[in-house]
Structure 1
Amino acid sequence: MRGVGKVKIKVGSWNMLTLQDKLSILKAISRRNKRGHQ
């Protein structure tokens, strides 16, 4: 399954996000990847 594929972020909207938002998104993606591999 593609967890990252579901999350579609435009470059413009990504730049508008704050560091905390980016970190939370990256953590969520990493968690999904770990679950998928296990």
Structure 2
Amino acid sequence: PTDGGDNDEDDDDDDVEKDEEDEEEEEHLALADLLLYL
């Protein structure tokens, strides 16, 4: 159960893996943006 989504720290441990995947996805998007500017 979450606290309404105000902060992810109180969410279930299962969400930690999802957050890590989101961070990797953001890194890939950032790399793609860098390539566009080259």
When normalised by structure 1's length, the TM-score is 0.53
Unpaired stretches in structure 1, ≥5 consecutive residues: 1-15
- 4+ long deviations beyond 2 Å: none
RMSD over aligned Cα atoms: 1.8
When normalised by structure 2's length, the TM-score is 0.53
Aligned length: 23
Which structure exhibits the higher relative contact order, with contacts defined as CA atoms closer than 8 Å and separated by 6 or more residues?
1
Unpaired stretches in structure 2, ≥5 consecutive residues: 1-14
